[in-house]
Structure 1
Amino acid sequence: MSLETLPVISLTSDPQSLSRELGDSFETFGFAMVRDHGIDPVLIARAWDLTAQFFALPEAEKRTNHLAGQGGARGYTPFGTEIAKGAEHRDLKEFWHVGRDLPAGHPLSDSMPPNVWPDRPDHFRETFEALYAQFDVVGARILSRIAVWLGLDEHWFDPAIEDGNSVMRLLHYPPVSDNAAGSIRAGAHEDINLITLLLGAEEAGLELLAKDGRWIGVSPPEGAMVVNIGDMLQRLTNHVLPSTTHRVRNPAGERAQHSRYSMPFFLHLRSDFPIETLPGCVTAQNPDRYPTPITADEYLQERLREIGLKK
């Protein structure tokens, strides 16, 4: 597989071919570009419109939906809060998080707070609840193909992600000012979760760090999504599937005066799932890097502290 460009993979391919194509792309890049994902384009268009409307609201109004002490798990996180692990400068972004609502008394409620919803714009809640549900379905389907590529049963991930702590993020990168002072829209980082499904990468700026040390632009065709491996799946597979460093660089010239929006869905394990190295990913050449298991929530909390969302 070429290290220059990511292939664009159709989710309508036959299951065996899809497993092979996704697995090969993830093994090579940690990323894949996926088309024919089946998420309703009318719903996506409505979500983009509502995202822009929300972030255009007055700062004071947006901040009424900021919940201190929750690490940004739900609601609004103000501009300049998040920082990439090990970075000196905070990211040039603000965002909104939608999570999974659990029924009253659910055993995982302590690690998954209820959603909050803004008073404006209209139809925000029903739009993003519907989009979250569609992301959930597509993510589970992709994981089933990854499982087969790993030599597991296609349903291996089903109990691992049941009531999983997945989060949909609505991201706004405002126009870049002349006094950005070394900050970029999203500093070089890896994602925490199992896999990330991203809409909105058509706008230039997303780059991944290739194995040879070069930054490669990731620009899917219109309507396609970008999918990448997160740290939890990297740990689970003993680095057979790499969680690749990526960033969103600042635009040049006239594009710097425009906002950029994107919509990642961070697909998580259920909070109490023990992340324990898959035996099939341990060999003499690739010994177990993580002999001590950790629960998904313990791992998440550790990482949220590292990126400035929790103290």
Structure 2
Amino acid sequence: MTSLHNADQDRVASVSLLRAGADPMEFARALGGSFERYGFAIVADHGIDAALIARADAAARAFFALPEEVKRRYHVPGTGGARGYTPFGVETAKDAVQSDLKEFWHVGRELPAGHRFAEYMQPNLWPTEVADFRETQLALFDAFDATGRKLLSAIARYLGLAPDWFDDTVADGNSVLRLLHYPPVSADAPGIRAGAHEDINTITLLLGAEEAGLELLDRDGRWLAVAPNEGELVVNVGDMLQRLTNNMLRSTTHRVRNPPPERRGFSRYSMPFFLHFRPDFLIETLPGCTGEGRPDLYPEPITAHDYLMQRLREIKLL
């Protein structure tokens, strides 16, 4: 398995998370190098239980198969789609005219009563029509959260920080598990299921990208397919981490194209986990990411919550 992308090849590297235990620094270099080059990496042996993934996927499919009027009972307008259901054709990529061809469900962090971040995180909604939906999706949320911390530890090493540097920054972070459904498209549908965009958050962990369509915009202006093997995890840098690292780690534009004609009658399902900083974390350029020839591009710090609100307005979820 290749740990670093060869500059002569046009594909994102796949690296095994098992190597983080055997040689943490080598894994950090592989992951960080792919992030610097592409903003993306593919992670094998990520440790999220395959049986749990299958249960979560089945529960998501069962929900999306419900009648439209039933699904819309769980849509809460004016909340930015933070929890529950967002119907087809609502989310729109920044600066895009055409809305994305998708519907989705959001699961957030469960907070105890009186938690200091309760004002920033709404309570979850749960569909009563799908058995074990709550238990399964919360278990997947926790598994994503744990794997994300391992990846952040490697990113910290790559940046020359202590391996636990990110632990406090994401403690009780406003992370979101998104259950995504792209319905079948007609032969004359527009060519994009999800318009070109960058992710807002710290890092994104994505399962279910084996169905073709995910592409990143490379730095030479070409669209490259992101093609993980079955069960592998696609990971990409979000705008918050890009800002923190003064663009050292790239938040890369990406999109989901419509499938070829022979696959247009099939739905596409995926489960991205948007790992966020805690709401009050101040995103301020890391000192080690500035210097001669690398001026600070973000001299004004901003809290993670304020940045999130700013971006949600841009993509018309607020």
- TM-score, normalised to structure 2's length? 0.96
Q: Retained in 2: the 8 A contact 1:90–1:183?
A: no
Residues 121/267 of structure 1: CA separation in 2 closer, same or farther (3 Å cut) = same
The corresponding residue for 1:39 is 48
Q: Distance in 1 between matches of 2:254 and 2:291?
A: 28
The corresponding residue for 1:27 is 36
Q: For residue 141 of structure 1, report the CA deviation from its aligned partner.
A: 0.5
Q: Tell me the SS of whatever aligns to 1:175.
A: coil
Identical counterparts, % of pairs: 63
Q: Distance in 1 between matches of 2:183 and 2:121?
A: 29
Q: 1:9 aligns with which of 11, 15, 19?
A: 15
Matched, 1:285 2:289: no
Matched, 1:208 2:216: yes
**Residue type of the alignment partner of 2:99:** R
**Residue type of the alignment partner of 1:295:** T
The corresponding residue for 2:117 is 108
Q: Distance in 1 between matches of 2:191 and 2:199?
A: 19
Q: Distance in 2 between matches of 1:36 and 1:251?
A: 28
**Residue type of the alignment partner of 1:148:** R
The corresponding residue for 1:153 is 162
Map 1:199-238 onto structure 2 (within 5 A): 199-238=207-246
Q: Distance in 2 between matches of 1:24 and 1:220?
A: 18
**Residue type of the alignment partner of 2:47:** G
Q: Distance in 1 between matches of 2:30 and 2:139?
A: 29
The corresponding residue for 2:106 is 97
Q: 1:121 aligns with which of 114, 130, 133?
A: 130
The corresponding residue for 1:294 is 302
Q: Tell me the SS of whatever aligns to 2:106.
A: strand
Q: Distance in 1 between matches of 2:140 and 2:111?
A: 17
Q: Distance in 1 between matches of 2:293 and 2:178?
A: 38
The corresponding residue for 1:269 is 277
Matched, 1:171 2:177: no
Tell me whether 290-299 or 182-191 shows the greater mean CA deviation.
Answer: 182-191
**Residue type of the alignment partner of 2:59:** L
Q: Retained in 1: the 8 A contact 2:283–2:303?
A: yes
Matched, 1:308 2:306: no
Q: For residue 72 of structure 1, report the CA deviation from its aligned partner.
A: 0.3
Matched, 1:187 2:188: no
Q: Distance in 2 between matches of 1:120 and 1:35?
A: 34
Q: For residue 103 of structure 1, report the CA deviation from its aligned partner.
A: 0.9
Q: For residue 156 of structure 1, report the CA deviation from its aligned partner.
A: 0.5
Q: For residue 178 of structure 1, report the CA deviation from its aligned partner.
A: 4.0
Q: For residue 177 of structure 1, report the CA deviation from its aligned partner.
A: 2.1
Q: Retained in 1: the 8 A contact 2:191–2:257?
A: no
Q: Distance in 2 between matches of 1:116 and 1:5?
A: 39
Q: Tell me the SS of whatever aligns to 2:74.
A: coil
Q: Retained in 2: the 8 A contact 1:63–1:78?
A: yes
Q: For residue 51 of structure 1, report the CA deviation from its aligned partner.
A: 1.1
Q: 1:86 aligns with which of 86, 95, 110?
A: 95
Q: Distance in 2 between matches of 1:226 and 1:132?
A: 16
**Residue type of the alignment partner of 1:121:** V
The corresponding residue for 1:260 is 268
Q: Retained in 2: the 8 A contact 1:207–1:216?
A: yes
The corresponding residue for 1:242 is 250
* Aligned-CA RMSD value: 0.9
**Residue type of the alignment partner of 1:149:** Y
Q: Distance in 1 between matches of 2:122 and 2:165?
A: 27
Q: For residue 16 of structure 1, report the CA deviation from its aligned partner.
A: 1.2
Gaps of 5+ in 2: 1-5
How many residue pairs get matched? 309
* Stretches of 4+ aligned residues off by more than 3 angstroms: none
**Residue type of the alignment partner of 2:114:** G
Q: For residue 276 of structure 1, report the CA deviation from its aligned partner.
A: 0.3
Q: Tell me the SS of whatever aligns to 2:264.
A: helix
Q: For residue 284 of structure 1, report the CA deviation from its aligned partner.
A: 1.9
- TM-score, normalised to structure 1's length? 0.98
